[in-house]
Chains A and B, each alone.
Chain A
Amino acid sequence: MSLTLENVTQIVDGQYYINQANLTFEPGSFNVLLGRTLSGKTSLMRLMAGLEKPTSGRVLMHGIDMTGVSVQKRNISMVYQQFINYPNMSVYDNIASPLRLAKESEKSIKEKVMEIAEMLRITPFLSRLPLELSGGQQQRTAMARALIKDADLILFDEPLVNLDYKLREELRIEMRELFAQRNTIAVYATTEPNEALALGGTTTILHEGQIIQTGPTAETYHSPCNVIAATLFNEPPINMIKGHITENEVTFDNMVHFPLTSELNTLSAGEYQFGIRPSHLSLLPKNDDDLEISVQVEVAEISGSETFLHVRNAHFQMVLHLSGVHSYHVDEKIKIYVPTHKLNVFEKDGDLIQASSRRIEDHFHG
């Protein structure tokens, strides 16, 4: 069953929660909704589920208009940010509950519960109560409940947010495996670009109730359609620099000049915005087209084995995403290198003109 949203708009108290959403999800697909908090991810999911009725527009399941059909009459399941389980039922009964409500025989319920519990590795805990489990196990129970009923549509509303880092990575990988053989539509909401990249499938970028871009995840990542998409789909957000192009050179903020490269010479003269991903910046020259810029260190943020180095000069601020732990003094003067072929070029009003080019070596770490 495919799911289609047609011009779906939801207005609550005069505010646009969702503005003209058009989306199609194919059966067996894994779809990520990426957007910041309050960007409309949950609202959109509630509309897909039928928990709410759109102000205008239609929701179609396999071509049949389901707008206004109540959630009880649809075959969906949902996993929430909070760990939602029936508190006084054992894990087994929790997982079995959707099937019991569907009046399946106890024998087939048992088979299915055992199978799904095995898959989610919660078999040893089946007789326990949810509150006697760790957060990860509670969420696995909730996921098992969602998966057991072979829903046409499974919605995940930031299911991993309340779990620790390690568990998140683990469950993320499992999620992809769980859905590989299924014929359901999975929709997964997240605020984290890295999670979207790890999950793959397709990614839809939402911003202030509007769909900014949708497409296969890797493609969306590599060619963000505008500045908003580029900013949202990168962690830390992409560095934006204002600049202009003349006949033979590019100028950043009236300060840094460099000659037009082969990648950029198709652009006509004028004002542009240039985006460069923090991970593409480096401290050593790596490419022939590298542009050297002198900057001062603002702060070095160390996260695991990575360092986010915030730097600035008189005209702009940038973040470098470096692997390894680097320590710097505040206001230390350093040089950074910008590979100019990695520049994403946007028009002044934000639309993408030219995505960064992908040279051969990108396939290893792009």
Chain B
Amino acid sequence: MNKPHSNKAWFLVLPVFILVAFSAIVPLMTVVNYSLQDIFDVSTRYFVGTEWYREILNNSRLQDSLVRQFIFSGSVLLIEIPLGIGVALMMPKSGKWSVISLLILALPLLVPLNVVGTIWQIFGRADIGLFGWALNSLGIDYNYAANPIDAWLTVLLMDVWHWTSLVALLSFSGLRAIPDAYYQAASIDRASAWAVFRYIQLPKLKSVLLIGVLLRFMDSFMIYTEPFVLTGGGPGNSTTFLSQALTKMAVGQFDIGPAGAFSIIYFLIILLVSWLFYTAMTHSDNK
């Protein structure tokens, strides 16, 4: 069979190509361009090769925030994924209460990021915030603005409050998709509740959890607004995560070159870790 070949088909691909070029390739290449030059003003620029990259990788403050960032994202995943699954398991399966709990769960997801920061900033204050006041009245010396550990816990708690719902909703939808016959079969087999979870629910949740883990990792790794509003990265640098360090460098100090290099490295880290999660979770399918 010899199908007539038409080059017109390329025209049909063109809109997508233009869209992707403007939305992804051109901006990314601009950053690559910056990261390889030292720019003084519009007409004064020097090509510096990989110098900015070397500088960024050797910058100890950035290394610190990278470590901080991994600890933060790791804690977020360790808390939110199990908690979200737990919440989904406890939710009523159908009826009025199911709808109500879904609505309540969806609420935090609808709150704008800087509002979340503001809510917790007030909520955690010892003088007028319910949370901070309650802790202090219980005799716990809590002050997120002065104590790095308190600041950390507040940022973490804020993220858990904000995003566990997402994992819970994903898991809930995954659980609903399991046919009732599985549960019947398990009870006929006299399987324990743990066995039902381990051998039916968890395997069946795998694909939605993969999405949950990826989304939560990427989002938490890019967290900016909430800690910026809550602590401004302090006390000291204790809650300065990567994106805030980057913003300081690019917008605060106007170091466009190093900031470009930083952005590329940041982007590659997220890509790499997401890929690792993805292959790890899909690979165990075909062991």
Contact = CB atoms under 8 A, between A and B. Distances in A.
B203 to A, nearest CB: 4
B190 A87 contact: no
A51 B184 contact: yes
B189 A97 contact: yes
Given A80-B181, A82-B179, A88 B199 contact: yes
Contacts of A49: 184, 188
A151 to B, nearest CB: 9
Given A51-B184, A78-B184, A78-B185, A72 B200 contact: no
A101 interface: yes
Which of B181, B182, B191, B285 lies at the interface centre, i.e. has the most chain A CB atoms within 10 A of its CB?
B181
A101 B199 contact: no
Interface in B202-221: 203-204
Contacts of B191: 97, 101
Interface string B167-207: 00000000000010110110111110001000110011000
A87 B188 contact: no
- Give the bracket for the number of chain A residues in contact with chain B: 20 to 34
A71 interface: yes
A98 B203 contact: no
A88 to B, nearest CB: 4
Nearest to A131: B285
A274 B186 CA distance: 48
B188 A89 contact: no
A227 interface: no
A98 B189 contact: yes
B181 A86 contact: no
Interface string A34-65: 00000000000010010100000000000000
A51 B182 CA distance: 13
Contact of A77 (B181, B188, B285): B188
Interface residues of B, number: 16
B203 A86 contact: yes
B209 to A, nearest CB: 13
Given A87-B203, A89-B199, A71 B188 contact: yes
Contacts of B188: 49, 51, 71-72, 76-78
Secondary structure call for the B interface:
helix
B51 to A, nearest CB: 50
A97 B181 CA distance: 17
Which of A49, A81, A88, A98 lies at the interface centre, i.e. has the most chain B CB atoms within 10 A of its CB?
A88
A89 B195 CA distance: 12
Contact of B203 (A71, A88, A101): A88
Contacts of B204: 87
Contacts of B179: 82, 84
Contact of B187 (A71, A81, A87, A88): A71
Contacts of A89: 199
Interface in A121-143: 129
Contact of B190 (A72, A81, A129, A145): A72
B187 A84 contact: no
Contacts of B185: 78, 80, 84
Interface in A89-133: 89, 97-98, 101-102, 129
A59 B151 CA distance: 63
Contacts of A97: 189, 191
A78 B191 CA distance: 14
B182 A84 contact: yes
Given A87-B203, A88-B203, A82 B181 contact: yes
A82 B195 CA distance: 20
A154 B200 CA distance: 22
Contacts of A78: 184-185, 188
Which of A49, A70, A71, A84 lies at the interface centre, i.e. has the most chain B CB atoms within 10 A of its CB?
A84
A242 to B, nearest CB: 43
A224 B204 CA distance: 46
A32 to B, nearest CB: 20
B129 to A, nearest CB: 46
Contacts of A129: 285
Contacts of B182: 84
4 closest cross-chain pairs (CB), A and B: A88-B203, A87-B203, A80-B181, A86-B199
Given A82-B181, A86-B200, A89-B199, 19 more contacts: A49-B184, A51-B184, A71-B188, A72-B190, A78-B185, A80-B181, A80-B184, A82-B179, A84-B179, A84-B182, A87-B199, A87-B200, A87-B203, A88-B199, A97-B191, A98-B190, A101-B189, A101-B191, A102-B190
20 contacts: A49-B184, A71-B188, A72-B188, A77-B188, A78-B184, A78-B188, A82-B179, A82-B181, A84-B181, A86-B203, A87-B200, A87-B203, A88-B203, A89-B199, A97-B189, A97-B191, A98-B189, A101-B189, A101-B191, A129-B285
Interface of B: 179, 181-182, 184-185, 187-191, 195, 199-200, 203-204, 285
